[in-house]
Amino acid sequence: MNKITEKQLLIDKIVEAIQDTKGEDIMIFDLSTIENSVAQTFVICTGNSNTQVSAISGNIQKKVRN
């Protein structure tokens, strides 16, 4: 049985928050094998307007805090 890591739970929350606000083209990049990387994982998506991008960002922040 696979153990779900804290990292994977965080990624799942971020993706869920993006989907809730209709973000599109969600891409997850695992950078953990790159030496001196600034992050272990990047989650990137697109939005159709500045307002939507702000909503996506706000929703991610809200879900990650909980």
Fold classification of 6-65 (topology level): Beta Polymerase; domain 2 (3.30.460)
Query: In percent, how much of the chain has pLDDT > 90?
Result: 89
The domains of the chain are located at: 6-65
For helices 6-20 and 50-65, the axis angle rounded to 10 degrees is 140
* pLDDT attached to residue 66: 76
pTM for the structure as a whole? 0.87
Structure token pair of residue 4: 């779900």
| pLDDT, tens digit, 9 for 90 and up, residues 26-48 | 999 999 999 999 999 999 999 99
Would you give the end-to-end CA distance of the chain in angstroms?
A: 27
Quote the CA–CA distance of 51 and 7 in Å, as a whole number: 28
